[in-house]
Structure 1
Amino acid sequence: MASESGTLTSSEYISHHLTNLTFGKLPAGTTRYDGTVVGESGTWTFAHGTEAADMGFWALNVDTMFWSVGLGLLFIWLFQKVAKSATAGVPGNTQNFVESIIEFIDDNVKSIFHHKNDLVAPLSLTIFVWVFLMNAMDLVPVDWIPFVASEMGISYMKVVPTTDVNATLGMALSVFGLIIYYSVKEKGVGGFLAELSLQPLGKWMLPFNLFLELVGLFAKPVSLALRLFGNMYAGEMIFILIALMPFWIQWILSVPWAIFHILVITLQAFIFMVLTIVYMAMAHDHH
């Protein structure tokens, strides 16, 4: 798996595999890796490392977008295909597999969410399957896809979207937006503000209540994003470290870790889904 480790030092190899392929606008005056200086109008280009940092907020991690969108489309295509070909008779293996996932999600939603909202179950299904597919890219040997990309002239290629905090935070903020929306919709603006400011110590401790509740509220998207990112980033780092070892040791260590990691990627998708259901239930609850 360590096809590139022969030409790179260990630190360079690790850095290379943890660097995104980034596209954005380099500001005027930026010095490129080849020593050239960007002109007054700036330039739109692919970059990495310090150059990518110079692009600022609007830099786009192209590999994260490509793999996350591609895996999302794979999920939609597969489930749509099964839905169109579903039969009431003896189902095939694929239909059985998809139906078992849907039943699993439905059972979890019914056990946690006790309100009427047709969005929650489809949202939970999407989160679980999509996050699982993105996590599962961690099981692909770390050099395979980057090697193919390098043969095509693409220097950097991170294939696990959930090892990019931008992806996990983007999903978490989407869930957070739904939490705020349904909190206001179900309780009204006044009810939502009262929930934030009058608990747990009553109106005489309003500033303290507001501080506690706001910390708890904003901790939700942060914890969702960082939990998933941290676990997947650590798992990817271990695979990269294993890839630096001699070939025969790689197989001794990578196979058991990959088998264990199947549990990790499934558990992280499940946790993200369950917490989303819990947070949506809290948004609908009236205190």
Structure 2
Amino acid sequence: SGVPGRFQAAIEILVEMVADQAKGIVHSAESRKFVAPVALTVFFWIFLMNSMDFLPVDLLPKIWALISGNEHAYLRVVPTADLNGTLGMSIGVLLICLYYNIKIKGFGGWIHELFTAPFGSHPLLYPINFLMQMIEFLAKTVSHGMRLFGNMYAGELVFMLIALMGGTATVFGFLGHIVAGSIWAVFHILIVALQAFIFMMLTLVYIGQAHESH
């Protein structure tokens, strides 16, 4: 009780930010009871996974090598720099979207929409409409996961290239490694937070679209 501390205030700002974004995109108050916490979880989860990029490139592999006794320990530290992880999360979002499509429109209403949107309900247009719907679901899911993966994979590669500079037996390479690594780490803080925010917003947008009828 009493005046909230800085940590509590920061958490409340994040919670209110996500709640406001969810309110503007998902218009069902009942759905927001689930969707808003999901969006907040997505943001924090991806932010923490992205933040693994700030660990020294060889820190965890060295620790594993000491524990296991295996000198050749290879480890990709950043989970979001692996396409399996990002596509897994985007498929999870797709399943939530399918759930809300059926819950809001009913199974029959959703099937009807698959065959009648976006070009109309003429029987000759059913195959085209269905194909367009499948392409839309596929494009959303793949681009959702690929966007996060591409940005984090590129950032991880830059960190690795900068780390290689420090391995050169020259003063220039050592100083360049420190300066470039520090600059890129500061810039990467923005990328880490921005990519988590974008993934969260796209999650809200896709779920919001599942509530709308064509």
TM-score w.r.t. the length of structure 1 is 0.67
Structure 1: give runs of 5+ residues left out of the alignment: 1-86
- The residue type equivalent to 1:92 in the other structure is G
Q: 2-side partners of 1:218 and 1:194: how far apart?
A: 19
From the two aligned structures, give the one with the greater strand fraction. Answer: 1
Q: 2-side partners of 1:131 and 1:249: how far apart?
A: 30
Q: Does 1:110 align with 2:23?
A: yes
Q: 5 Å matches for 1:82-97?
A: 87=1, 89-97=2-10
Asked if structure 2 preserves the Cα contact closer than 8 Å seen for 1:102 and 1:125, the reply is yes
Q: 1-side partners of 2:195 and 2:206: how far apart?
A: 16
- Identity of aligned pairs, percent? 47
Aligned-pair distance for 1:165?
A: 1.2
Q: 2-side partners of 1:106 and 1:178: how far apart?
A: 18
Aligned length: 200
Q: 1-side partners of 2:118 and 2:75: how far apart?
A: 48
Runs of 4+ residues deviating >4 angstroms:
none
- The residue type equivalent to 1:254 in the other structure is G
Q: 1-side partners of 2:155 and 2:177: how far apart?
A: 15
Aligned-pair distance for 1:249?
A: 0.9
Q: Which residue is equivalent to 1:187?
A: 105
Aligned-pair distance for 1:203?
A: 2.6
Q: Does 1:146 align with 2:61?
A: yes
Q: 2-side partners of 1:146 and 1:176: how far apart?
A: 34
Aligned-pair distance for 1:281?
A: 0.8
Residue of 100, 103, 107 corresponding to 2:13: 100
Q: Which residue is equivalent to 2:202?
A: 275
Residue of 120, 133, 140 corresponding to 1:202: 120
Residue of 174, 177, 186 corresponding to 1:250: 177
- The residue type equivalent to 2:202 in the other structure is L
Q: Which residue is equivalent to 1:42?
A: none
Aligned-pair distance for 1:95?
A: 0.9
Asked if structure 2 preserves the Cα contact closer than 8 Å seen for 1:183 and 1:283, the reply is yes
- The residue type equivalent to 1:139 in the other structure is F
Q: Which residue is equivalent to 2:169?
A: none
TM-score w.r.t. the length of structure 2 is 0.89
Aligned-pair distance for 1:145?
A: 2.1
Q: 2-side partners of 1:283 and 1:185: how far apart?
A: 9
Q: 1-side partners of 2:55 and 2:21: how far apart?
A: 30
What secondary structure sits across from 1:203 in the alignment?
Answer: coil
Q: Which residue is equivalent to 2:168?
A: none
- The residue type equivalent to 2:55 in the other structure is V
Q: Does 1:127 align with 2:42?
A: yes
Supply the RMSD in Å over aligned alpha carbons: 1.3
Q: 1-side partners of 2:202 and 2:114: how far apart?
A: 20
- Relative contact order: is structure 1 or structure 2 higher (C-alpha 8 Å, sep ≥ 6)? 2
Q: Which residue is equivalent to 2:152?
A: 232
Q: Which residue is equivalent to 1:35?
A: none
1:207-232 residue CA offsets vs partner (Å, 9 max, x unmatched): 11111111001212211111111110
Asked if structure 2 preserves the Cα contact closer than 8 Å seen for 1:136 and 1:265, the reply is yes
Q: Which residue is equivalent to 2:131?
A: 211
1:72-118 residue CA offsets vs partner (Å, 9 max, x unmatched): xxxxxxxxxxxxxxx3x211121112111111111111121111311
Q: Does 1:265 align with 2:185?
A: no
Q: 2-side partners of 1:92 and 1:269: how far apart?
A: 25
Q: 2-side partners of 1:266 and 1:240: how far apart?
A: 20
Aligned-pair distance for 1:125?
A: 0.5
- The residue type equivalent to 2:148 in the other structure is L
Residue of 161, 167, 173 corresponding to 1:241: 161
Q: 1-side partners of 2:13 and 2:60: how far apart?
A: 31
What secondary structure sits across from 1:244 in the alignment?
Answer: helix
